[in-house]
């Protein structure tokens, strides 16, 4: 089957500038709570250590139609996306097939993946002290883990050699598919970042300022946030309310807000000026500012 346009889900225009990073986490066990998700915090950590922000994340269960829709959007997005889970060869693993359907491509056994899987079979036979039997039914079935959309590139797996794969969509989105097991997925994602995106590490300056803000409801803060963002384009404000507690001066507060400003690129040069202004405005309307520890 040759690639063709998907008229039922028109691709979105690629994002201007450098692609953003996203993550798709697949599996009923995550959505049911049987397993806690370890992928999202790890991807934030891996990207953050390289000066890269995670722009978005999406969870989806083991439903082929939903997985296909999510991947279709990822391929059309122009983003760099990591997809975690569902690339095995059991009946509840649908990701490889859904990727091919989203791309309108045939699937085929990848020659490099085949060689790696066969090598893994030999390793297991040697470790168990049994004959290597590549034609045994279970070994033949394992080769399905190397059946990818045509044109895919492999992602090496240092844990057990069973590779993941990468594909690029017509909309410019690149999706890197890794297993659901964190012990495999996370080193593989790190390899992808170091191999394909090193030129983007720590290229965009980022700055942030934050304080604890007491004695003001968020409704009083919002106009100040809007005004500072208008006055300083490129600077974003945020407020994160939380339960209060014992303060430094011994008083009890029923609520508090983490308030801050964020900036990227050239806007970083303005963050100190904006920060001084916003603190003065907050104090002028009765806010009490406390440095965060």
Where exactly are the structural domains of the chain?
21-200, 206-291
The pLDDT score that the predictor gives to residue 260 is 96
Taking the C-alpha atoms of residue 163 and residue 286, their distance in angstroms, rounded to an integer, is: 58
Sign of CA dihedral 195, 196, 199, 204: negative
Find tokens 């009083």 and name the residue. 220
For 21-200, CATH gives 3.40.980.10
The pLDDT score that the predictor gives to residue 171 is 92
The SS3 assignment for 95 reads helix
> pTM for the full model?
0.83
The pLDDT score that the predictor gives to residue 13 is 34
Straight-line distance from the first to the last Cα atom of the chain, in angstroms, rounded to the nearest whole number? 59
The pLDDT score that the predictor gives to residue 160 is 95
Burial 80-93 (b: 16+ CB within 10 A, else e): bbbbbbbbbeeeeb
The pLDDT score that the predictor gives to residue 246 is 52
- For the record, the structure tokens of 114 come out as 């085949």
Q: What is the DSSP letter of 232?
A: S
CATH fold label, 206-291: Alpha-Beta Plaits (3.30.70)
In the chain (293 residues long), the average pLDDT of successive 10-residue segments reads 33 53 97 96 97 97 98 97 96 96 98 96 93 90 96 97 97 96 98 97 93 89 96 94 62 75 94 96 93 82
Q: Is the separation of the CB atoms in 292 and 211 below 8 Å? A: yes
- Could you tell me where the beta strands, DSSP code E, fall in 65-106? 80-84
The pLDDT score that the predictor gives to residue 215 is 84
The pLDDT score that the predictor gives to residue 254 is 56
> Which residues have a Cβ under 8 Å from the Cβ of 187 and sit 6 or more positions away?
157, 158, 159
């Amino acid at each position: 089957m040759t690639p063709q346009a998907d008229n039922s889900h028109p691709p979105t225009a690629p994002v201007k500038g450098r692609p953003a990073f996203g993550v798709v986490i697949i599996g009923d066990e995550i959505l049911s709570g049987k397993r806690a998700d370890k992928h999202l915090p790890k991807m934030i950590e891996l990207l953050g250590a390289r000066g890269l922000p995670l722009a978005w994340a999406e969870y989806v269960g083991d439903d082929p139609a939903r997985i296909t829709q999510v991947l279709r959007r990822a391929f059309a997005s122009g983003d760099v996306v990591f997809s975690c889970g569902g690339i095995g060869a059991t009946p509840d693993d649908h990701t490889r097939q859904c990727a091919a359907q989203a791309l309108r491509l045939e699937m085929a056994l990848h020659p490099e993946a085949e060689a790696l899987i066969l090598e893994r079979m030999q390793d297991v036979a040697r470790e168990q002290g049994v004959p290597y039997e590549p034609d045994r039914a279970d070994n033949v079935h394992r080769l399905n883990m190397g059946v990818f959309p045509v044109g895919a590139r492999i992602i090496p797996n240092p844990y057990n050699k069973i590779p993941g794969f990468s594909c690029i969509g017509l909309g410019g989105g690149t999706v890197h598919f890794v297993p659901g097991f964190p012990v495999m997925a996370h080193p593989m994602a790190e390899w992808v970042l170091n191999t394909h995106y090193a030129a983007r590490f720590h290229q965009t300056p980022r700055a942030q300022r934050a304080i604890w803000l007491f004695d003001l409801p968020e409704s009083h803060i919002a106009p100040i946030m809007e005004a500072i963002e208008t006055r300083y384009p490129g600077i974003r404000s945020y407020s994160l309310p939380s339960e209060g507690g014992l303060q430094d001066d011994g008083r009890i507060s029923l609520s508090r807000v983490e308030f801050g400003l964020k900036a990227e690129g050239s806007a970083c040069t303005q963050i100190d000026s904006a920060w001084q202004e916003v603190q003065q405005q907050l104090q002028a309307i009765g806010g009490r500012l406390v440095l965060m520890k």
